[in-house]
Amino acid sequence: MSMFCFQCQETAKGTGCQVRGVCGKSEEVAKLQDLLIYSVKGLAEVVVKGKFDVKTLNQANHETLKSLFMTITNANFDEDAIESQITAVLAIRDGLKKEAGLSGLSDAGNFSVGDRVSMVEKAAAVGVLATENEDVRSLREMITYGLKGMAAYTHHALNLGKENFEIYSFIYEALVALRDNSLGADELVALTMRTGEFGVAAMALLDGANTSKYGNPEITSVNIGVRNKPAILISGHDLTDLEQLLEQTKGSSVDVYTHSEMLPAHYYPFFKKYENFVGNYGNAWWKQLEEFATFNGPILFTTNCIVPPRSQEIQGRIFTSGAAGYPGCVHIVADENGKKDFSAVIAMAKKSKAPTEIESGSIVGGFAHEQVFALADKVVDAVKSGAIKKFFVMAGCDGRMKSREYYTEFAEKLPKDTVILTAGCAKYRYNKLSLGDIGGIPRVLDAGQCNDSYSLALIALKLKEVFALSDVNELPIAYNIAWYEQKAVIVLLALLFLGVKNIHLGPTLPGFLSANVAKVLVEKFGIAGIGTVDDDMKIFLG
Ligand code: SF4
Ligand code: SF3
């Protein structure tokens, strides 16, 4: 076995990628990512043992977030970038260690590496399989993946100048706990719940950061066709990158289209003032190989999900920023004030052909918490009159497995008196179907990106209040969630922390769940997988 990774839904055979990632991650990248995680664990040990006040640790806090984020599935495939990040983390660790005069640290707090070869060698001993007990490994990894998702959302909030130091403290504490051999299954289950608690805090922080800067999402019709001008396609989740790109392209001959998880940017009032912000091109991340070929212009990845490009021509049109990276693609770095210079992207766009149209028409979204609260009377009346019988939360991720056709079929077969609440790129499985509306309320309500699952939780809590229920599980809401990468893990843990039970998770249960840990999730939280659409429909509606 040359590598081991089982952090995403597409992991090989459902158990682990051992030679090369199904995602395209090489053995070397996988190992460097393992070492980066080990390095931040060492940094966390120094922060915790040195009793540092996290409010004084800007560099350590921010680089910890970035490190965790870089290892999320499909975010960063660039060995050089990961190697530099390891070096940076170790330098911060050693500086703090010296400042606190710490000694007696574990290997993670002490180790040093030189060149790439020594890093890869070191990584072999510190990866996922370094934890021998299967159940402890399962819990440790579930928490680690939750931390990665939490770090991603916290990093986006940071880009908007918003921080919550309690989240940083928790991340350090959890990273240290992940190497504490005295902690057994019960303590790790408790830590899993606390991870969910801070997941809610991270999503709330990002929601506040986004809405305070860009306004509350509102019902918006988004064009999915094209117009005849050269253009830039922006993908990923970072709205500050979009803002800067729109500022730098406004009044020019270059249009900007969103792709995949950037679609919900159209719902924010702030971005509507840009005349060249014209629509959404394409679908969820996994269709990018074909869609980038017909887009014709440059593509900017602000975060995951990158699919390794098949041709040099397309690779040459891909730019990355933030935690994203791909070897051979230009990475745009922020200056000390967070400013990014996108002139190379814009210059390339000016020389490109306009996008080729692949579809036409529009899709509607923008049903985040405030917009739904504004419609609350209508929604409550529809529930009371029986016009709406049930809500289905179908948030999460999309992916390339054929078994995900289940979600399209499920959406199509749902009775006409049900409403889908969605967020994340999972929506692309049904957001272009004609599912109609119920008294003017569309049957697919898209709250936004995966982090906007927070909105769906707030909507559930609001309905619980309106109907004066004591338990969120008494609501006519069912959860049929699709997952792929680690942001979905933090969304799931957040929902569990909020007390949501009987979540169905598909298209397959995580490979990182050991049989015993899966049993705990089933018994304690009623977690289930998916079956056939017809069988599940009976379970959900029975
Ligand atoms: Fe495999 Fe997923 Fe890990 Fe990629 S991220 S190596 S596909 S488990
Ligand atoms: Fe999608 Fe990658 Fe998860 Fe933010 S873009 S939801 S998979």
* CATH number of the domain bearing residue 404: 3.40.50.2030
Among 213, 240, 263, where does a domain finish?
213
283's tokens: 């679908």
Residues 154 and 229 in one domain: no
54's tokens: 């996290």
- Whether residue 221 is predicted with pLDDT greater than 80 in this model: the reply is yes
Report which bound ligand comes closest to the CA of 426.
2
CA 409 to chain centre: 24
pLDDT at 2: 86
Candidate of 301, 397, 481 to mutate for ligand 2, largest count of ligand atoms within 8 Å of Cβ = 397
pLDDT at 1: 54
Report which bound ligand comes closest to the CA of 237.
2
pLDDT, mean over the chain: 97
Quote the number of domains for the chain: 3
**Per the domain annotation, does 503 fall within a domain?**
yes
- Whether residue 6 is predicted with pLDDT greater than 80 in this model: the reply is yes
Nearest to residue 257, comparing CAs of 109, 60, 117, 249? 249
Residues 184 and 244 in one domain: no
* Helix 165-177 / helix 58-70 crossing angle, nearest 10 deg: 60
Q: Is the peptide bond before 269 cis (omega within 30 degrees of 0)?
A: no
From the CA of 284, how far away is ligand 1's center (Å)?
18
Mean pLDDT value across residues 7-20? 98
Q: How far apart are CA 83 and CA 522, in angstroms?
A: 39
pLDDT at 81: 98
Provide, rounded to the nearest whole percent, the portion of the chain with pLDDT above 90. Answer: 99
**Per the domain annotation, does 396 fall within a domain?**
yes
Q: How far apart are CA 420 and CA 36, in angstroms?
A: 39
Residues 209 and 225 in one domain: no
**Per the domain annotation, does 271 fall within a domain?**
yes
From the CA of 466, how far away is ligand 2's center (Å)?
32
CB of 305 sitting under 6 A from ligand 1: no
Rounded to two decimals, the pTM is 0.98
Q: How far apart are CA 10 and CA 413, in angstroms?
A: 26
Residues 437 and 464 in one domain: yes
Residues 148 and 90 in one domain: yes
CB of 31 sitting under 6 A from ligand 1: no
| Residue 291, CA distances (Å) to 112, 309, 342, 525 in order | 43, 11, 22, 39
Check residue 354 and report its DSSP letter: P
Q: Which burial class, exposed, middle or buried, applies to 429 when counting CB atoms under 10 A from its CB (0-12, 13-18, 19+)?
A: buried
| Residues in contact with 7: Cβ distance below 8 Å, sequence separation at least 6, in sequence order | 73, 141, 145, 148, 485, 486, 512
Going by pLDDT thresholds of 50, 70 and 90, the confidence category of residue 542 is: confident
- Whether residue 482 is predicted with pLDDT greater than 90 in this model: the reply is yes
For the chain, the distance separating the N- and C-terminal CA atoms, rounded to the nearest angstrom, is: 46
Residues 403 and 425 in one domain: yes
Residues 208 and 236 in one domain: no
320's tokens: 């990355």
**Per the domain annotation, does 471 fall within a domain?**
yes
Nearest to residue 49, comparing CAs of 102, 91, 92? 102
Mean pLDDT value across residues 510-533? 97
Q: Domain range holding 438?
A: 367-541
Among 350, 376, 405, where does a domain finish?
350
- Whether residue 291 is predicted with pLDDT greater than 70 in this model: the reply is yes
Mean pLDDT value across residues 316-332? 98
Residues 197 and 242 in one domain: no
Mean pLDDT value across residues 497-514? 98
57's tokens: 């640790």
Residues 42 and 98 in one domain: yes
308's tokens: 């390794």
Residues 378 and 317 in one domain: no
Residues 283 and 163 in one domain: no
**Per the domain annotation, does 150 fall within a domain?**
yes
Candidate of 3, 15, 19, 25 to mutate for ligand 1, largest count of ligand atoms within 8 Å of Cβ = 25
Residues 374 and 327 in one domain: no
**Per the domain annotation, does 412 fall within a domain?**
yes
215 phi-psi bin (left φ>0, alpha ψ -120 to 50, beta other):
left
**Per the domain annotation, does 198 fall within a domain?**
yes
From the CA of 321, how far away is ligand 1's center (Å)?
21
**Per the domain annotation, does 360 fall within a domain?**
no
Helices and strands (H and E) in the chain: how many = 19, 15
Report which bound ligand comes closest to the CA of 395.
2
| Residues in contact with 520: Cβ distance below 8 Å, sequence separation at least 6, in sequence order | 185, 189
